[in-house]
Amino acid sequence: MSTRGINFLDQWLANNVPETTKADVISVDELTHKMIADAKVLGIKRSEIDEEVDDSLSQK
């Protein structure tokens, strides 16, 4: 489990996704690409984020 990945994901979502946003395919895809690009700039690999997302989804 990557602490760095989950911390980035939590902070990124708080800063980039308003709580009132309605999900649609285009906006989710665009936000996902932006998040992965922002993570790459910080040296965080997509696999660190994917691991956290997979873990949190499997716990539900």
pLDDT digits (tens, 9 = 90+) for 21-57: 666 666 778 888 899 999 999 999 988 888 767 655 4
pLDDT at 14 over 60: yes
C-alpha–C-alpha distance, residues 22 and 40, integer Å: 26
Domain ranges of the chain: 3-58
Residue with the two structure tokens 């949190």: 56
pLDDT at 19 over 90: no
Q: What is the pLDDT of residue 40?
A: 94
Q: What is the pLDDT of residue 42?
A: 94
How is residue 2 written in tokens?
């990557």
C-alpha–C-alpha distance, residues 31 and 39, integer Å: 12
More confident residue, 16 or 54: 16
